[in-house]
């Protein structure tokens, strides 16, 4: 099981059924080898809503700008951070699709 945690997004205003997302997947990105980055990239491209890489250089889903709905992933010292605004059901489906890939990558296991 790969650890993750959600940062508090309760202060963000969102309309309708959309919800703010800020999840940190606890991957050991410093330990990634080229094959791990390839696995991650293939996973990205197979996730619902894949939209490519935005102007900011980050992987995007559901659009390449930061206007709802959207997700953006970035590699940070704390792990892989996914932020955005999505309908809760769409977010849950996206995470459920991504989760099996995480155990194939260097991570901080529970």
Question: Total domain count for the chain?
Answer: 1
- Residue 11 located in a structural domain: no
Domain residue limits at 39: 1-6+18-78+93-110
For the chain, the first-to-last Cα distance in angstroms comes to 6
- Residue 32 located in a structural domain: yes
Query: pLDDT (tens digit, 0 to 9) for every residue of the chain, 110 residues total?
Result: 678 999 887 766 566 778 899 999 999 999 999 999 999 999 999 999 999 999 889 999 998 887 889 999 999 988 999 999 999 899 999 999 999 999 899 988 75
- Residue 12 located in a structural domain: no
In whole angstroms, give the CA distance from residue 79 to residue 89: 24
Specify the residue for token string 């901080």. Answer: 108
Cis link prior to 17 (omega < 30° from 0)? no
In angstroms and rounded to an integer, the radius of gyration of the C-alpha atoms of the chain is 13
pTM of the model: 0.89
């Amino acid at each position: 099981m790969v650890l993750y945690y959600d940062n508090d997004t309760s202060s963000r205003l969102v309309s309708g059924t959309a919800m703010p997302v800020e999840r940190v997947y606890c991957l050991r990105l410093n330990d990634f080898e080229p094959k791990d980055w390839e696995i991650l990239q293939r996973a990205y491209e197979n996730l619902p809503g894949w939209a490519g890489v935005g102007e900011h250089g980050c992987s995007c889903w559901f659009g390449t700008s930061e206007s709802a709905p959207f997700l953006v992933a970035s590699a940070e010292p704390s792990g892989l951070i996914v932020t955005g605004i999505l309908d809760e059901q769409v977010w849950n489906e996206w995470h459920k699709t991504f989760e099996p890939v995480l155990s194939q990558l260097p991570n901080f296991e529970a």
